[in-house]
Amino acid sequence: MESPYLLRQARIERITRLTEKERLFRLVFEDDKTLGHVPGQFIMLSIFGAGEAPISVSSPPDTRNEFEICVRVVGSLTNVLHTLLKGSTVGIRGPYGKGFPVKEIENKDILLIAGGIGLVPMRSLIKTILLKRGAYGRITLLYGVKSPEDILFKDELDEWSKVPDFDLRITVDKPHPLWKGHTGVVTRYLPELKIDAERTAAVIVGPPVMYKYVIMGLGEKRIAGHEIFLSLERRMKCGIGKCGHCQINSVYICQEGPVFRLSDIRRLREAI
Ligand SMILES: Cc1cc2nc3c(=O)[nH]c(=O)nc-3n(C[C@H](O)[C@H](O)[C@H](O)COP(=O)(O)OP(=O)(O)OC[C@H]3O[C@@H](n4cnc5c(N)ncnc54)[C@H](O)[C@@H]3O)c2cc1C
């Protein structure tokens, strides 16, 4: 049996600076196989001499041997990644974990709530939905960031906002004088949304502090717990249920998540 720790080599094909802290990397495998992920799954990214870290896949499933990740610079590995140039090689394990139930939420209105870097895995889902636009109902994306400079994928957000029945609302915590959009936390905009709870699936990805309030807001909109999906990020080392770093009670977030159905994890008191 092949070792689960075996790395595949991938070359950095393109680097796009999205903000001061985040860059988008297009990676191409040295072999000709696809990554074979579903939106919401993650890979373990390895850089020789710098370490390994879990990173979400940001592109939709691809039949080619390419995919994209968007990485915020925070520490040792991510600092080194941000110094690499086009043509450099990195190591990839995965894809790992459970992703969003793209098939199950077909024919529903989709309410997406992203906070900060949560838009990174959400982008994979949005692009997948848009590739099969007719299979889904109305799409609403509430996207909250600290300041206008932190908005990721600005051009794509602009394109998405022009898609029929795609309602995009971006809100910032700290606006600057030129900001003409919404301000305040994402939950502020939930009450004004017209939602048909019977036919809506909600997806949440963001910082832990956001979850409690968004879940309360969705409850007020009468969206059932089994129609709410959220991605839980916990610090993890192996990604394959061996090290226990991400474990909550008997649940390994790396294997049973990172995407969970709210009704399945209400019992994990520490999770949300
Ligand atoms: C399933 C999953 C998906 C992820 N997807 C992405 C992604 O798409 N893009 C992205 O930029 N990041 C993502 N992350 C976070 C990413 O894994 C960490 O930022 C990365 O491990 C940092 O590595 P480093 O060596 O640069 O930082 P380190 O030098 O290890 O740490 C720098 C600082 O960040 C803190 N830190 C490190 N990792 C975490 C963490 N997971 N949670 C909270 N604090 C942490 C450390 O305590 C330290 O203060 C994801 C994490 C998980 C679990």
Instruction: Give residues with Cβ within 8 angstroms of 37, minimum separation 6.
Output: 43, 57, 61, 67, 94, 95, 99, 124
The token pair that represents 92 in the structure block: 């990839």
The model's pLDDT over 176-227, given as tens digits with 9 standing for 90+, comes to 888 888 899 999 899 999 999 999 999 999 998 899 999 999 999 999 999 9
pLDDT for 2 equals: 78
Which parts of the chain are beta strand (E)? 8-17, 22-29, 42-47, 51-56, 66-72, 89-96, 109-115, 139-145, 166-172, 182-183, 200-205, 228-231, 247-248, 251-252, 259-261
Spatial separation of the C-alpha atoms in residues 166 and 161, rounded to whole Å: 6
Residue nearest to atom 10 of ligand 1 (CA): 71
- Contact yes or no for 156/149 (Cβ under 8 A): no
Residue nearest to atom 43 of ligand 1 (CA): 235
pLDDT for 90 equals: 98
pLDDT for 246 equals: 84
Helix, strand, coil percentages (3-state) for the chain, rounded to 5, are 25, 30, 45
Instruction: Decide if pLDDT at 110 tops 70.
Output: yes
pLDDT bucket at 5, cuts 50 / 70 / 90: confident
The beta-carbon contacts of 210-215 under 8 Å, at least 24 apart in sequence, are 210/113, 210/115, 210/118, 210/144, 210/185, 210/186, 211/272, 212/272, 213/185, 213/187, 214/113, 214/186, 214/187, 214/190, 215/262, 215/272
- Whole-model pTM: value is 0.94
pLDDT for 240 equals: 86
The token pair that represents 214 in the structure block: 């968004």
- Contact yes or no for 66/134 (Cβ under 8 A): no
Atom of ligand 1 nearest to the CA of 236: 53
pLDDT bucket at 269, cuts 50 / 70 / 90: low
Atom of ligand 1 nearest to the CA of 81: 26
pLDDT for 176 equals: 86
pLDDT bucket at 271, cuts 50 / 70 / 90: low
Distance 109 CA to ligand 1 centre (A): 32
All domains of the chain in start order, with CATH: 8-95 (2.40.30.10), 109-231 (3.40.50.80)
Cis before 258? omega within 30 = yes
Query: Which residues on neighbouring strands pair with residue 202, listed in sequence order?
Result: 111, 228
The model's pLDDT over 232-267, given as tens digits with 9 standing for 90+, comes to 888 888 888 888 888 888 888 888 889 999 988 877
pLDDT for 95 equals: 96
pLDDT bucket at 272, cuts 50 / 70 / 90: low
Distances in Å between the Cα of 203 and the Cα atoms of 13, 95, 146, 219 are: 31, 20, 20, 13
Q: Which residues line ligand 1 (CB under 6 A)?
A: 42, 51, 53-56, 69-72, 74-78, 117, 120, 233-236, 258
Instruction: State percent of the chain over pLDDT 70.
Output: 98
Instruction: Give residues with Cβ within 8 angstroms of 122, minimum separation 6.
Output: 112, 114, 141, 203, 205
pLDDT bucket at 37, cuts 50 / 70 / 90: very high
For the chain, what is the mean pLDDT? 93
DSSP state of 131: H
pLDDT for 66 equals: 98
pLDDT bucket at 34, cuts 50 / 70 / 90: very high
Query: Which residues on neighbouring strands pair with residue 231, listed in sequence order?
Result: 259
Which of 197, 188, 205, 187 lies closest to 225, judged by CA?
A: 197
Determine the residue of 71, 74, 96, 100 to mutate for testing ligand 1's pocket, defined as the one with the most ligand atoms within 8 A of the Cβ atom. Answer: 74
pLDDT for 23 equals: 98
Instruction: Decide if pLDDT at 33 tops 90.
Output: yes
- Contact yes or no for 53/96 (Cβ under 8 A): no
Question: What is the arithmetic mean of pLDDT over 27-46?
Answer: 96
The token pair that represents 142 in the structure block: 């509430």
pLDDT for 177 equals: 86
Provide the 10 A C-beta neighbour count for residue 109: 20
The token pair that represents 238 in the structure block: 């192996």
